[in-house]
Structures are given as structure tokens and as C-alpha cells.
Structure 1
């Protein structure tokens, strides 16, 4: 893998580690928030509300939008990792998956679901003081039911063994943001955390692949390179547990890579027909991956206009333009619009850092100080 971001114009400096973390968490929250406004609407209803192009911008939403359980659980993933890292920095080893489980149980308590008496008590942490994280925002059934068992699900003893909903993959970006961890360890952290609520191999493997994509981007690699690398690592990552790569996951991801290279950009109906609606893990990851690749500077959507006379030639696609186009593509389809757009936002925020995030969108974002607070804490613990 190269050290230069292949999909970032050469004139754009590489983002710092802290900027990638902030970009990932804020970008995911922006995609989640725009998509949450239309999550349960089909494309005909979206067009009926916002016109033929669908929902393109926060300015079209009277009163703005809220982020969903996708952002809530992503932030609680950060908090679980933070606790494990804080223990490690004091020289005390901690079970990372247990820290994540306890963090998710604290989230469960915010959703009006009683935490089982058998579950261990954990004192509240900084994240728990924020009212915005206590609202119920259409949480996934498997996340609720898996945590409500009071049992810490594992690979060998999963809860919800048949569930492969996207509630795993949409919360898994933070695993790829912790530096100096080998790729196989990143995959294991992500897949094991998915097992806390979802037992189907596609749910675990989709989460692991997504985290590897984030890790590759955070290390300075380009979009397509990161996606191909993560998919290529899947065999190696799962075989040690006696699994084989889930065929639906592999087929969806290969389709996303192929379709994004061939062009033209798929319309909403074609997108769903080829890659799915995004309600399950492998479909959500494939739709989001397609959205960021198809709108990339070297993707089929790249058709730069000629510069005006006397004006310097602009890059094929500035980071903000790429972010806007990818999120719009990930939002406007019949399906789980907030999860597909949240994953796309995580990806591009990691690739470009904060520079790709539209200022007007950030102004419309709910509780940015909470998201920035968690990002700053992760950046402080993991280095400059």
C-alpha cells in the first residue's frame, strides 16, 4: 500500500491525525442527519418532497434534522475504546470488548430499555451527561434486544445469531482510527464488537471490512486502494476463526467496486437493484462504498467543466464537492438512508479530514460540541 492518498488532489495537504478523527465523526454525523430526515421514505416520496434530484442539502429541511442512533452508537464506540486506551496508558490491561459492551449498555439505558440486573454496573462517564444522546432515534431492534439479554455476546456464543442488520457496520468506523494497531487486530476488535449484538457472519465481517477501510484511509491511502485492500484481507481475517467470507458480502462489495469504475453513475432505482436498500450490513457498506467511489475525482461522476477565461484550472473535484455529491447519492434511494450516508461520511471525513465538511452543514448539525468533544478525546489519547 502506498503512503500517498491516491484519491486526494496533489495540491491538498494531507490531513493531520486529529483532523481525520474529527472529519470521520463529524462527517458521519452529517450524513446520518441528512439521511435520517428521509430514512423511512422511498425514492418517490423523497422526490415528491424535494424535487427530481431528491434531498441535496440541509437548507431544504425546515428546522434542520437530528442525527440518529447511528451517531449515538458511533460515539459510544469511541467511548468504549477510550476507556480501554485510558487503562492501557496507566499500565493496566483491560478487555476492550468488555469496555465496549459496558459503553453500549449505558447507551441502552438512554433508550428506555431496562439494563438487566445481571449486567455489571459502570459509573457514568463524560459522554453520558449529554441529553442529545438520550433521545430515542429509531434504534435497531437487534441492538436493543442483544444488549437487553444482559449477556456479553461473543463469536462463539453470539446473541441474535441470525441477525445481520446494519447496526453493526454503522458504528464501527472508530476502530480504524486508533493508530499503531495491526490490521488483523483492527478487524478482530470490530468483528468482536459486532458480536455483542449481531451473530450473523455478514454483520461481523462487514464491520471488520469497514474498519479496515477506515484504517487504510487514516494511513494515507486512496479510496479505491483502501477498499480493495480491505476486501483482500477478508480471507485472511476470517479463516483463523473457522469461517469463510460471507458470499453476499463479497458479491456486494465486488459489485460496488465494479459499478463505480464502469459508470455512468447509477440512479436511485438502479442502485437499490444492484446493491440493495442498506437495511442489512453488507448492503449498507456496499451502497456507501459505491457512493464515495462513483463521485470521486477519478470516478464516473468526474466531468470537470472548463475553467472560465483567465481563471486557473481547478482540481477535478474539491473535497467539499466530493463530500456533498457522495452524501447526496448515499441519501437518495429507497432504503436505510441515514446508515448508508453515515458510513459514506465516515469514509470521506477520514480521507480528507475536516476540510471536506461544508460549513453551512456544520452549522445545521445537532450538538456538534458533543461530537467534537469525543473526537478531541480520542485524538488526545491516540497521539498528534
Structure 2
């Protein structure tokens, strides 16, 4: 069952981890602790009064836009392509936000998010995402276009786990939508299988009460072996996940040392493993988990984002400290997208239901400029 508190928590939580980690993304751990003190970075670094989000949150929102675009087409026209197709259309619109100034405020073809001026900023986008979207060389799990396993595939797919309900899609179907969304730009098995595993975890945690993070991890690991039985590199992911589980139960090890054993998060399996470690270690303390997830050498905004998605889905938005809600860039837009994922399209070609705002968003793509 959809839970608006958990959907909001997942998207806001991901943005919190992203914004906290973005300030230290390219810093070595020694530099982080030298700059911010023995606890590392624990508060936002504000730029013009704003805690800036990176491409991780941007692309997460465009993933959500793509899901709702596809459903709206099905509801209003009775036909649609697979969801990754609509996600790819929105990623191409996201690409416009990362390019030269004269591209930034062009009317989008599919994504209303391009109409938000604050969205039109380049925030250290991944080279793989940019190059393959520019070249229009988008792949799939059956037809990969590269051998990339960078974390650009996993950090954007949380909305897929949030959106679909069990009575409409099997959880394996949902996982595969996550894998295909990642495989658009990341063709290595470890570019898209961790994304499927992440989506599985998000779905269980956000839709089923009483599921622990460890329950979600173990079930996701089990399902990956059935979804991808011939994957040559699955053992690398499952081994790293098992190590994360073991480390999270060791009260004597420092977070930094544990994370160093798991990697730096530049590739998807390491991003997921670090996020799993932090989410298990601090399952009931969002703040401690987020702080641990970003204070290391490596891709701190992505490890923070995925950790925030997991615990936000598990604990809900009410558990996120106010200090992380204050000054968060695009907070209202993130909440609006979360609410759209929860409420879904109510318009149908067979009913007289109307929703002018929804139409401007997901049919005409002119919101909020024209209502």
C-alpha cells in the first residue's frame, strides 16, 4: 500500500543525503575532517542560503516525471510504451538543464520540471549519462551500449520502487523496470543489477509495514539471483552486500574504516553496499546514517542520496530532522513530485474527471507557466 509519509521521506531523504554529501564529493576523508572537524560534515554548506542538490536528485525527479508521463498517456490514450521509454524522454529533457545557457529554459518536450528555473543548473553530472544521452545511444539489459557500472544508474531510480503497487505489477516486474532504467546509460551488469536491488528494497520498505532494512536487503539479494541467474558478476555485488551486513553488526569498527572496506561509491555496487551498511548500522537514526554515509573519500553525494532514500522510505519524512529540511534546495518541488507519485493520474479517456494542473504537467508540459 502506498504511504505518502514514506514516499515523501524517500525523496526528501535522498535529497538531504545528496545535498550534505555534494559539498564534500571530491574531497579525501582527511580533508573533510580537517575542514569540518572530528565529526566531519554534519550541517549543510549553504550557497547563497541554499543547500544545493546535485544531479542525483535532479535525475531522480526526472525519473518520477517519466513514470507519471507514461501512466498519463496510458490513462488518456489507452496505449503506452514501456516505462523506461518515457523515463528516457525525460532524461533527455534533463540533459537540456545541464547544457549551455541558451538551452536551459527552452520549453521542454516532455518534462514540466524544465520549467523550474532552479532546476536549470549543471551540478557535476556524470559523464556517462551526458555522453550517451547526447549521442542518443540508449541501451537496455539485453542490448547494452557500454560497459559502465558507474553509480549514475542506481542513484536515480528510487521513484520506481515507490510508485508501483503489488496489485498491478509483481515485484520482479518492478525490479526489472529499475534495471532497464539504469541500463539506458549504464550497460555493465553491475551498472543495472544494483539498481534493481535498490528498487526492490525501496518498494518493500515503502509499501510494507514491519519490514526491517535487513529483511529488505536479504529479500532483494534473493530475488536478484532469480532475476539474473546467468549474470557473471552478481557474486561481486552479493559478496559486497554480505560484507556490509557483517560490518554493520560490528560495534567496534569505525564507520570510516568500514566504508573503506566497501569502496568509495563511484561504482554502483559500492554505492549500494555503503548505503546498506549505513542504513543497517543506524536503522532508526536518520541523522547518524546520513552523516556516516557522506564522510568518506569518494562519491559522497551518491552514497548519501541512496542512504537517504532507503531510510526515508523506511522511517518516513517525520523522522528527518528539521535542520535538514530548512534551506534544502527544491524542497517544495520534491514534495510536489512525491505527492504526484502518491496520488497518481485520475484522468481517463473513459471518464469526465478533469485535473487542469495534472494536464499542464503530464500532457502539455507547461506547468507552472500556464495553468
TM-score bracket for this pair, using the shorter chain length:
0.7 to 0.9
Find the counterpart in structure 1 of residue 353 from structure 2: none
Shift, 1:246, TM fit: 2.0
Is 1:133 aligned with 2:116? no
Counterpart check, 1:187 vs 2:172: no
Structure 2 alignment gaps of length 5 or more: 102-106, 347-371
Do structure 1's residue 222 and structure 2's residue 207 form an aligned pair? no
Take 1:237 and 1:245, find their aligned partners in 2: how far apart are those partners? Answer: 13
Query: Does residue 166 in structure 1 map to residue 151 in structure 2?
Result: yes
* Pairing partner for 2:142 from 112, 135, 156: 156
Corresponding pairs, count: 335
> RMSD of aligned C-alpha atoms?
2.1
* Deviation (angstroms), 1:200: 0.5
Query: Contact (CA 8 Å) 2:97, 2:119: kept in 1 or not?
Result: yes
Which one is further off, 162-171 or 173-182?
173-182
Q: 1:185 to 1:124 in 2, by over 3 A?
A: closer
How much has 1:84 moved relative to structure 2?
1.3
Does the 8 A contact of 1:77 with 1:104 survive in 2?
yes
Q: Which of these residues, 270, 287, 310, is aligned with residue 324 of structure 1? A: 287
Deviation (angstroms), 1:357: 1.3
In the TM superposition, what are the counterparts of 1:222-371 in structure 2 within 5 Å? 222-239=212-229, 242-244=230-232, 246-268=234-256, 270-297=257-284, 322-371=285-334
Q: What do residues 276-319 of structure 1 show as CA deviations (whole Å, max 9, x unaligned)?
A: 0000000001001101111125xxxxxxxxxxxxxxxxxxxxxx
Is 1:196 matched up with 2:184? yes
* Residue matched to 1:55: 41
Which residue of the partner structure matches residue 97 of structure 2? 110
Show CA shifts across 1:131-156 (max 9, x none): 22210100111111121121331223
Cα distance in 1, alignment partners of residues 323 and 222 from structure 2: 38
Structure 1 unaligned blocks of 5 or more: 1-14, 115-120, 298-321
Separation in structure 2 between the aligned mates of residue 133 and residue 97 of structure 1, nearest angstrom:
22
